[in-house]
Structure 1
Amino acid sequence: MAGVSRRYPMLRRTRAMWVSRRVWQPRLVFWIGALAIGLVSVGFAVLADKAQDLFHALTGAPGGWRWYLPLLLTPAGFVFCAWMASAFFPNSQGSGIPQAIAARHLRDDDDRTYLLSLKMVAGKIGLTIVGLFCGASIGREGPTVQVGASLMLQAARWGGLTQARGLILAGSAAGIAAAFNTPLAGIVFAIEEMGRTYEARTNGLVLTAVILAGLASLGLLGNYTYFGVSHDTVSFASDAGLIVACGVIGGALGAAFSVLTLKATRRIRRWSRYTPLKRTLLIAAVCGFLVAAVGLAAGGLTFGTGYAQARSAIEGTPLPWYFFIAKFVAGVATGIAGIPGGIFAPSLAVGAGLGSALGVLFGSSAGIAALLGMAGYFAGVVQAPMTAFVIILEMTGNHDNVIALMCASMLGYGTARMISHEPLYHALSRVYIADAIRRKRAETAATAPAQPEAA
């Protein structure tokens, strides 16, 4: 063969080109997939903001007759989203992070396709936008993780890449990085939350995906901080009590959110086993009405992501003392309704409201209190303290408070672990893994040859 190559140089060049294509084609597809995550994340963010603004414009200001429109619009929207998710986009419900975690544990590509696919991308984005248009207390950041993982897994299929687990991790990290413009938080999230058994060989995949998705986001939106720039600095001499309170109370409240969501979700699944669609829609209608009622009682503050309220608190304007309670109830009701939507932004809003209320009690700066409350509560919900303080640091652009936020996050995490031993996302991911196992067993049983009856 070597002699043939020497006699025919064209054959040698053709083989070199083939080898080069085999090496570079998968990389090119991977890079395109990472850029696509950034572009899709930006489009998703713009549409989500417009849907939320349209809801507020449609319902009008408090006092007018349109103010009561959510009592009809929100339940109807919840029912529509739950029906579409059950009938056309199964496994699109909820945040999307548990589905991405489950897909990393599944070995069969068909099982992963049930959780991560281009069809899922369309359904997740569309139904999350509809949910925000109806006033649901959801965010787009968790769904962006499922979208990013789906896009990266599809790119892997097209490019012939075989590292499915690493690519799902990379797509998830890129989704977080592009959603918040927080590249470090995307990497930490991949290590701490998505991959509890992190593999060093995925470093390059995660870093490259985060960089390319971040470049796509920066190219369209420019460099920005999610909550603006915070200039307040924690004084340990005077704010030590506030740090402890935000960490412990925030962690306990975050754990309560996780426990309530998990127990309610499991009970609803058992209750809906025999008539799943009918009872799923009934639950969605009840939850939608509860979210609408809480929103009206709170003056409209709890509808949507809670981004505006959290930013207002960080900038120094205290929130009403009842805001965190109302937003907490709206978040639980939305989380168990069976509609697509994340809990990142609403959780940060609850934490900001809690910190704001504690800041008034301790006589501290509203901005500092909001940051510490966000760290404690968010670490309690997801039980990922590194992700909590890193993401808040990057979203506010203030690195002077790193030690204080670390303390609040660790206190929140420790308190939550004493109340709930199951991290929310990982506990929910086991539901999808169990569904995949049951589906595989059912398919095996259906295709197995019938056994002859005993004489």
Structure 2
Amino acid sequence: MSDFRRWTKTRFQEIASHEFLSFSHWRRRILFWTGAVVVGLSAVFFAKAADYAFALFGRVASHGWWVPLLITPTIFALLCWLTQGALKATRGSGIPQAMAALKIEDEAFRARLLSLKVSIGKMALTLAALLGGASVGREGPTVHVGAGLLYSMGRRFGFDDPTAAGRFILAGSAAGLAAAFNTPLAGVVFAIEEMSGTFEHRMSGTLLTAVIVAGVVSLGVVGNYAYFGDITAALPLGNAWIAVALTGVTGGLAGGIFARLIIPSTFGFRGAMERLRARQPIVFAAACGVALVLLSLLSANGLYGTGYVQARDILQGHGDTGPLFGVLKFLGNIASSWAGIPGGIFSPALAVGAGLGNNIAQLIPGADSSAVVLLGMAAYLAGVTQAPLTAAVISLELTSNRQMALPIMAACLLARAVSGIFCRVPVYKALANNLIEGYEAERKAALPEESAEKPASP
């Protein structure tokens, strides 16, 4: 009988200690789910606010061609000034900040990049950039905000262990992308391919749940929709597959050059631009704003904002952006990136790809124009990010199109290979490495001071 009691007690302890019944694990799950809801609601608010901000700019800019010449450089200069100090982490896309914070398990470094103040500032300043007509997107910033919100919530409720905090950052990033584009599968692939490079088995269920919850919140508020509408384009086997080769090479070439141009460097033309910005950063940002306005005057529909409307119109076959839209949007995106203001590159990259794809479609009369445009969007995004899986899944989910799966994956893989010739390190990884190098330099510089403060050994 005693043996039976011992056996029963042992089995009971094993069941009670099981992860499914663990209080701490359930506490973490509930916090993840709550955080995912917050991220989803924040993404929806951010999207609505971004549309309103850019629409307001459009109404003001319609009063004359000279109006953006006053507004855009001023906003660029103001944002550059505002991000000189504590809000420096709000600059750029935000994805490199999340990647760097995931890699460096230092609480002070992570808090500097992902604090609640940075998350709120990122959202507010990106909206200000769109209010000034900047050629930036909100999807990268939404990833930054999602990572910051879940990280801050985790710390607030006691999950400040470096490994646990990293899980919150990863889940917040994936949930942010899923909610921003309404693409849950892309959120998971993005977390694997871009953010972590690996996929911890124990994290899989939590990550998927966070993505699903954020996606459900987005669906509940704005409905079940495809970002660019339902596109029924198809590309049959045959001569039309020439489009895969043309879009893959063109997207990879243009994407690799773009990535190379926005990564800080001390050499060549990029190094010269960096030195100019270092001398007079605010004046340089204003000059970038002027360049964007002047480029926009050459475009039929302007280059301001995310480029979502132009990309959608081109994709649906009733756009009137002009033959140079892709090239001009490419240059406008560079001007906005060089200014160092908050804002992402996802949506603007899709717009560039749509413009380039439309140009390629004119060279292949027998191919479906919408199919070639979709290939161009996917290939250019893959060329910029060098993340072919993420680019392919995003492109498929954005258009609810499954017929183009093989051509899109082929174009993305080709674009990734071509892009790597011009830019050896993927753009987000290179920008994250710059943040990490800055942290390492600060840490090394602080070591002599710490040593000097210690009393000498007797």
- Cα deviations across residues 235-259 of structure 1 (Å, max 9, x unaligned)? 2223111111001111101001011
The structure 2 residue matched to 1:43, chosen from 23, 42, 45, is 45
Q: CA distance change for structure 1 residues 190 and 310 in 2, over 3 Å: closer, same or farther?
A: same
- Report what 1:121 is aligned to: 119
Tell me if the contact between 1:305 and 1:345 (Cα under 8 Å) persists in the aligned partners: yes
**Counterparts of residues 122-141 of structure 1 (less than 5 Å):** 122-141=120-139
For 1:412 and 1:379, the matched residues in 2 are separated by 6
Q: CA deviation at 1:23?
A: 4.3
Partners of 2:173 and 2:191 within 8 A in 1: yes
Residue of structure 2 in register with 1:417 after alignment: 420
Q: Is the 8 A contact 2:171 2:210 kept in 1?
A: yes
What letter matches 2:361 in structure 1?
Answer: G
Q: Which amino acid aligns with 1:440?
A: R
Instruction: Name the residue aligned to 1:205.
Output: 206
In the alignment, what sits opposite 1:362?
Answer: 364
Choose the corresponding residue for 2:99, options 67, 91, 101. Answer: 101
Displacement of 1:42: 0.5
For 1:239, give the aligned amino acid.
A
Q: 1:327 aligns with which of 323, 326, 329?
A: 329
AA aligned to 2:179 is: A
The letter for the 2-side match of 1:377 is Y
Provide the rounded CA distance (Å) in 1 between the counterparts of 2:100 and 2:390. Answer: 20
SS of match in other structure, 1:138 = coil
Displacement of 1:271: 2.4
Taking a change above 3 Å as real, the CA distance of residues 30 and 71 of structure 1, as seen in their structure-2 partners, is: same
Q: Cα distance, 1:201 vs. partner?
A: 2.3
1:6 matched residue in structure 2? none
Q: Residue 299 of structure 2 corresponds to which residue in structure 1?
A: 298
**Counterpart Cα distance in 2 of 1:419 and 1:447:** 42
Answer whether contact 2:143 2:172 (CA < 8 A) is retained: yes
Q: Which residue of structure 1 aligns with residue 9 of structure 2?
A: none
Match of 1:345 among 341, 344, 347: 347
The separation in 2 between residues aligned to 1:41 and 1:451, in whole angstroms, is 48
1:429 counterpart letter in structure 2: A
Deviations 1:321-352 (A, max 9, x none): 10001000000111111100000000000000
What amino acid maps onto 1:106 in structure 2? I
Amino acid at match of 2:439: A
Q: Secondary structure at the match of 1:361?
A: coil
Residue type at the aligned position of 1:176: L
Q: Say whether the 8 Å CA contact 2:252–2:414 is kept in structure 1.
A: yes
Deviates more, 1:310-319 or 1:78-87: 310-319
Residue 386 of structure 2 aligns with which residue? Answer: 383
Q: How does 1:137-216 map to 2 (within 5 A)?
A: 137-161=135-159, 162=161, 163-216=164-217
Q: Which residue of 1 aligns with 2:221?
A: 220
The offset of 1:204, in angstroms, is 1.7
Cα distance in 2, alignment partners of residues 141 and 321 from structure 1: 27
Greater CA deviation, 282-291 or 322-331? Answer: 282-291
Preserved CA contact (<8 Å) 1:380 1:412? yes
* Partner amino acid, structure 1, of 2:422: I
Structure 1 position 192, deviation (Å):
0.6
Letter in 2 for 1:435: G
- The residue type equivalent to 1:371 in the other structure is L
C-alpha spacing 1:22/1:411, structure 2 compared with 1 (3 Å):
closer
1:55 aligned to which of 46, 54, 57: 57
SS at 1:434 equivalent:
helix
Equivalent residue number for residue 267 of structure 1: 271
RMSD of aligned Cα (Å): 2.1
Question: What does residue 9 of structure 1 align with?
Answer: none
Show the 5 A alignment for 1:311-326: 311-317=312-318, 319-326=321-328
2:431 match = 428
Give SS of 1:91's match: helix
Give distance in 2, aligned partners of 1:435 and 1:281.
22
Q: Which amino acid aligns with 1:271?
A: R
Question: What percentage of aligned pairs have identical amino acids?
Answer: 43
1:137 and 1:397 map into 2 onto residues whose CA distance is: 26
Amino acid at match of 2:42: V
Q: Which residue of 2 aligns with 1:285?
A: 286
- Structure 1-normalised TM-score? 0.90
C-alpha displacement of 1:372: 0.6
Write the distance in 2 (CA, Å) between the matches of 1:184 and 1:451: 52
